[in-house]
């Protein structure tokens, strides 16, 4: 599991003042809350005293977090400020009674947390998400969605545009989608796919979204960090991309690993303010896109959770076949393997880059 990464602990609106939240991020149990100062605080959720989960505690006046078991109380810096069982005052509180405070940055509408070694938490590596907090964009954030699958399976799903048929054939996909040429860009820790379509017959759902039967379309999917996918889709009548007839939406998808078999998926969709839905101009385009998304998301969740279930069985000679159009998926696996190897951790063997099935394996 990759821990040397910034992961979304939530969109800003998810962290309410004075309300405790418990999360597990990359195997770390964490208690979070927004202090009255506005700062989001993230502490190790295991009470330093007897490991009791602090997310079951309560906040006292002054942003002090009290453990529900013995009443050890911690300030926003993680330092213990009260131990009810002690008979004297604060000089009796041991200096070791302190909760680890996680590096956390709230930027562009996202609360980012670093579960790795604190000395490596480089804020310059936080990926920008400018549309989410911009007044020029209308944005809708989804609720966090728990998924019972390894985070890598979602990364692969998002890079794998050839599954639109048949998985999404009843909404955004078609057989033609699986055949659109792909350009893959590979940079330092980043991977991006670009698909350009000219005079493309839109599938039913996107036809309603954009009010076009035939269009030119550019679709970019980029993994800008292990925990963030950036998708940009631009659509226009044939020959009109780059003009004021172009309609664009931006989608940020955060992938926060919980453990080796679970993740939390969040989506933030943005369109330029004032962009209307072609089928019903009383509604904004972003509203229409988000309203149509749940079925697609459910189908993706269904697929990767079913895949995850199959990892319960020993490989015993089983190997995946990587076809030519799996290029981006194969490259993503390798990139994530390298990040894990660099920090001395490892994914469960099944979701690492394995030798693919070879012609020799099936030659007989």
Partner 1 sequence: MTPRWGFCERCELWRLEEWGAPPHCPVCGGEPRPLERIEGGIGRTSLVLDLPPGSELPLLG
Residues in the site for partner 1, rule: CB under 8 A?
165, 174-176, 179, 181-188, 200-204, 321-327, 330-331, 334, 356-359
Structure tokens that stand for 356 in this block: 């693919």
How far apart (Å, rounded) are the C-alpha atoms in residues 191 and 224?
Answer: 7
Indicate the residue among 185 and 341 with the shorter CB distance to partner 1: 185
User: Does residue 295 have a cis peptide bond before it, meaning omega lies within 30 degrees of 0?
Assistant: no
Indicate the residue among 33 and 200 with the shorter CB distance to partner 1: 200
**Phi then psi for 338, rounded to 5 degrees?**
-65, -40
Residue ranges in 195-350 assigned as alpha helix (H)? 204-210, 285-310, 327-342
Residue 363: CB minimum distance to partner 1, A:
11
How far apart (Å, rounded) are the C-alpha atoms in residues 247 and 257?
Answer: 33
How far apart (Å, rounded) are the C-alpha atoms in residues 351 and 32?
Answer: 30
Euclidean distance between the first and the last CA atom of the chain, given in angstroms as a whole number: 38
Task: Put residue 25 in one of left, alpha, beta given phi > 0 → left and psi -120 to 50 → alpha.
Answer: beta
Residue 327: CB minimum distance to partner 1, A:
6
Indicate the residue among 170 and 309 with the shorter CB distance to partner 1: 170
Residue 185: CB minimum distance to partner 1, A:
6
What are 228's strand-pairing partners? 225, 254
Residue 179: CB minimum distance to partner 1, A:
6
Neighbour-count burial of 115, counting CB atoms closer than 10 A to its CB (0-12 exposed, 13-18 middle, 19+ buried)? buried
Indicate the residue among 202 and 290 with the shorter CB distance to partner 1: 202
Indicate the residue among 300 and 326 with the shorter CB distance to partner 1: 326
Residue 103: CB minimum distance to partner 1, A:
29
Residue 243: CB minimum distance to partner 1, A:
24
Q: CA of 213: how far to CAs of 163, 169, 205, 227, 312, in Å?
A: 22, 17, 11, 35, 44
CA angle 48, 50, 55 (to 5 degrees): 70
Rg (CA), the chain: 23
Indicate the residue among 24 and 184 with the shorter CB distance to partner 1: 184
Residue 328: CB minimum distance to partner 1, A:
8
Structure tokens that stand for 29 in this block: 């149990």
Residue 197: CB minimum distance to partner 1, A:
9
Indicate the residue among 305 and 320 with the shorter CB distance to partner 1: 320
Indicate the residue among 64 and 330 with the shorter CB distance to partner 1: 330
How far apart (Å, rounded) are the C-alpha atoms in residues 345 and 104?
Answer: 22
């Amino acid at each position: 599991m990759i821990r040397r990464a910034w992961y979304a602990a939530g969109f800003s609106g998810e962290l309410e003042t004075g309300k405790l939240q418990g999360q597990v991020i990359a195997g770390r149990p964490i208690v979070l809350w927004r202090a009255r100062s506005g700062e989001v605080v993230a502490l190790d959720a295991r009470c330093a005293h007897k490991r009791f989960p602090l997310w079951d505690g309560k906040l006292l006046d002054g942003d002090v977090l009290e453990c529900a078991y013995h009443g050890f109380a911690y300030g926003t810096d993680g330092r213990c400020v009260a131990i009810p069982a002690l008979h004297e005052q604060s000089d009796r509180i041991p200096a070791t009674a302190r909760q680890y405070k996680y590096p956390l940055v709230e930027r562009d509408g996202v609360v980012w947390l670093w579960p790795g070694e604190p000395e490596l938490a480089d804020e310059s590596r936080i990926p920008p998400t400018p549309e989410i907090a911009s007044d020029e964009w209308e944005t809708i954030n989804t609720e966090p969605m728990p998924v019972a699958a390894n985070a890598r399976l979602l990364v692969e799903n998002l890079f794998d545009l050839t599954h639109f048929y048949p998985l999404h054939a009843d909404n955004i996909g078609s057989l033609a989608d699986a055949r659109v040429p792909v350009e893959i860009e590979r940079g330092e820790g980043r991977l991006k796919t670009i698909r350009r379509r000219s005079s493309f017959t839109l599938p039913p759902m996107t036809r309603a979204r954009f009010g076009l039967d035939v269009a030119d379309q550019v679709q970019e999917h980029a993994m800008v960090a292990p925990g963030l996918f950036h998708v940009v889709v631009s659509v226009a009548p044939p020959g009109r991309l780059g003009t004021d007839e172009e309609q664009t939406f931006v989608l940020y998808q955060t992938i926060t690993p919980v453990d080796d078999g679970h993740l939390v998926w969040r989506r933030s969709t943005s369109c330029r303010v004032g962009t209307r839905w072609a089928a019903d101009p009383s509604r904004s385009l972003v509203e229409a896109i988000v309203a149509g998304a749940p079925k697609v998301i459910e189908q993706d969740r269904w697929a990767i959770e079913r895949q995850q279930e199959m990892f319960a069985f020993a490989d015993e000679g089983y190997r995946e076949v990587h076809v030519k159009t799996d290029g981006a998926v194969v490259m993503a696996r390798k990139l994530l393997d390298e990040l894990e190897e660099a920090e001395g951790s490892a994914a469960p063997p099944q979701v690492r880059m394995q030798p693919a099935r070879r012609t020799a394996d099936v030659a007989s």
